[in-house]
Chains A and B, each alone.
Chain A
């Protein structure tokens, strides 16, 4: 091929094009890393939603979507960094919902991640309540919002009366979930029971498409199972002691006495450990999150690992 001056230029320009294309992608990566922290901070320089509305020139829906995306990003990022600092989550969600009060996923997210204590959430049940009530004010016929309200009262504030009230209001809607009336009823008498909690978390699991919330619900359901198992096992051991006057030395003893069948195992398949002092412990506390029973003495309840941040590819 003859190397005319034109061809030389074409080759050089193509080379520059390809190299700089790759280079700019690499530079973008570097910039994104550099800016990770500043983005959300910057996003909140406009705290006044009124100003934001004006600036968006009417495209409030789009702006709300953008802030929603940023809220989710922010949460995932802070979770990944293990900082335990979620102070921007509430303002981000507030701005989102003020721009678009009908953005239901935002309320869902707030209920699930604003209320719980760090590092699972922002530890602001008050803010979560305010957000949900704002949502209800603007979307009075959405049963999920009442569910979220009851959920917050139940899980974080242990206010069963208010939870019951919320579930009841939700149950009264023309379009609602089958569990709402049942939950409302259970709040009254069986609030502290495992079945109630189980129903609650199951409803959460079943009523959302958000993978993060679902995963969270599953972990809680497993933890409930463990707590329930251990409570029962400890009751059984008590009965054994009452009958025989001493502590069992192994599960075999208890089985022999006819209290249980087989060796009990946790939902993940590991056998429970029978401790010499009659307590039951889980084999690997690190794998069972949110459990409140079966932990070695003095241990902290284990926390779920940070889901692999869908990383900056």
Chain B
């Protein structure tokens, strides 16, 4: 069995929030997760869910209150780990007064790349992220997108086996996002493991082999993207051109839910069983069919599903919190 790239073993992080009771705030509940070598793994969750906390724990920037992790078979405290991993933090910030080239060279020095190879490697990276022309400009003049690219360059500069990316698409325009996506695909082809966190589901859907959903510090679900989205829901979607923006009554009678797209295009979703009957309607009305596809559950739906129990929990928490308040107040004889 191949060594897992990352083995997270009950990693936990709590902070002491200094309120009137000093209750510990659990930023990350004991997390148990394994990421296999060579896969692109998506870590999904809303803002504040614990994604960045997890990454910081794995990077050794923050220390766990309990639990541990193994990275590439080594203990996460092992200094040898660092030479095999790359990290792109969210909204990175670099040394203002260095040029891109100088920065990469510095990072190369710190990563232990021998000086002979270093300059060649730096140029290579710059080219790869499309910054060759701007290599001599000081970073304080860089746009957000350019900074992100520098960030990516420094993450893969030393050819690490495992790359951690925290919201790699944030702040990028569609072109930039496309480039990052391509880069991640390349990395996968090179056999690297990529672990990235995001809240943009379409990216995750198109890039990841597996995903995990995290909410309020707790892991809600893990699974292969292919499996999670393969589930059909017993529906089909028909796209066709309508006459004068009118949906044939017969279609609606079959139980179709329709909406209008651009021009005269109509999207209708109806039960799978009515598929043939729907096609008959179109032929009768002489309406042009564009496409017929089974409806799959989207990752978005899976995601929202995983989140939902939490919302109820949130409400429940609020209730118990209010009850505690009331109890505390009555104990002290104060009105609430």
Chain A residues at the B interface, C-beta cutoff of 8 Å: 4-6
Kindly list chain B residues whose C-beta atoms are within 8 Å of the C-beta of A4: 77
Q: Is B79 an interface residue (CB 8 A)?
A: yes
- The answer for the CA separation of A4 and B68 in the assembled complex, in Å, is 14
Question: Chain A contact residues: over half helix, strand or loop, or mixed?
Answer: helix
Kindly list chain A residues whose C-beta atoms are within 8 Å of the C-beta of B77: 4-6
Instruction: Provide a sorted-by-A list of 4 A–B residue pairs whose CB atoms are within 8 angstroms.
Output: A4-B77, A5-B77, A5-B79, A6-B77
For the A-B complex, the count of residue pairs with Cβ-Cβ distances under 8 Å equals 4
Kindly list chain B residues whose C-beta atoms are within 8 Å of the C-beta of A5: 77, 79
B56-83: contact bitstring with A at CB < 8 Å (1 yes, 0 no)?
Answer: 0000000000000000000001010000
| Interface size class, chain B | under 10
- The answer for the CA separation of A6 and B79 in the assembled complex, in Å, is 10
- The answer for the CA separation of A6 and B77 in the assembled complex, in Å, is 8
Closest 3 CB pairs of A and B: A4-B77, A5-B79, A6-B77
- The answer for the CA separation of A4 and B79 in the assembled complex, in Å, is 10
- The answer for the CA separation of A5 and B77 in the assembled complex, in Å, is 8
- The answer for the CA separation of A61 and B319 in the assembled complex, in Å, is 62
- B 67-108 contacts with A by CB, 8 A: 77, 79
Kindly list chain A residues whose C-beta atoms are within 8 Å of the C-beta of B79: 5
* Chain B residue at minimum C-beta to C-beta distance from A4: B77
- How far is the CB of B76 from the nearest CB of chain A, in Å? 11
* Chain B residue at minimum C-beta to C-beta distance from A5: B79
- How far is the CB of B82 from the nearest CB of chain A, in Å? 11
- The answer for the CA separation of A5 and B79 in the assembled complex, in Å, is 8
- How far is the CB of A271 from the nearest CB of chain B, in Å? 77
- The answer for the CA separation of A4 and B74 in the assembled complex, in Å, is 13
Kindly list chain B residues whose C-beta atoms are within 8 Å of the C-beta of A6: 77
* Chain A residue at minimum C-beta to C-beta distance from B78: A5
- How far is the CB of A150 from the nearest CB of chain B, in Å? 66
- How far is the CB of B57 from the nearest CB of chain A, in Å? 15
* Chain A residue at minimum C-beta to C-beta distance from B60: A6
- The answer for the CA separation of A209 and B157 in the assembled complex, in Å, is 75
* Chain A residue at minimum C-beta to C-beta distance from B79: A5
- How far is the CB of B67 from the nearest CB of chain A, in Å? 16
- The answer for the CA separation of A131 and B79 in the assembled complex, in Å, is 71
- The answer for the CA separation of A202 and B47 in the assembled complex, in Å, is 83
- How far is the CB of B269 from the nearest CB of chain A, in Å? 57
- How far is the CB of B1 from the nearest CB of chain A, in Å? 27
- The answer for the CA separation of A148 and B27 in the assembled complex, in Å, is 74
B195-216: contact bitstring with A at CB < 8 Å (1 yes, 0 no)?
Answer: 0000000000000000000000
- How far is the CB of A165 from the nearest CB of chain B, in Å? 71
- How far is the CB of B218 from the nearest CB of chain A, in Å? 29
- The answer for the CA separation of A175 and B77 in the assembled complex, in Å, is 77
* Chain A residue at minimum C-beta to C-beta distance from B75: A4
- How far is the CB of B335 from the nearest CB of chain A, in Å? 51
* Chain A residue at minimum C-beta to C-beta distance from B63: A6
- The answer for the CA separation of A5 and B75 in the assembled complex, in Å, is 12
- How far is the CB of B36 from the nearest CB of chain A, in Å? 27
- B 261-303 contacts with A by CB, 8 A: none
- How far is the CB of B247 from the nearest CB of chain A, in Å? 68
- How far is the CB of A48 from the nearest CB of chain B, in Å? 46
- How far is the CB of A216 from the nearest CB of chain B, in Å? 59
- The answer for the CA separation of A4 and B81 in the assembled complex, in Å, is 14
- The answer for the CA separation of A4 and B80 in the assembled complex, in Å, is 13
- The answer for the CA separation of A29 and B79 in the assembled complex, in Å, is 42
- How far is the CB of A141 from the nearest CB of chain B, in Å? 56
* Chain A residue at minimum C-beta to C-beta distance from B77: A4
- The answer for the CA separation of A309 and B79 in the assembled complex, in Å, is 56
- How far is the CB of B318 from the nearest CB of chain A, in Å? 40
- How far is the CB of B63 from the nearest CB of chain A, in Å? 10
- How far is the CB of A3 from the nearest CB of chain B, in Å? 12
* Chain B residue at minimum C-beta to C-beta distance from A7: B77
- How far is the CB of B175 from the nearest CB of chain A, in Å? 43
- B 133-173 contacts with A by CB, 8 A: none
- How far is the CB of B78 from the nearest CB of chain A, in Å? 8
- The answer for the CA separation of A102 and B77 in the assembled complex, in Å, is 65
- The answer for the CA separation of A6 and B78 in the assembled complex, in Å, is 9
- How far is the CB of A26 from the nearest CB of chain B, in Å? 36
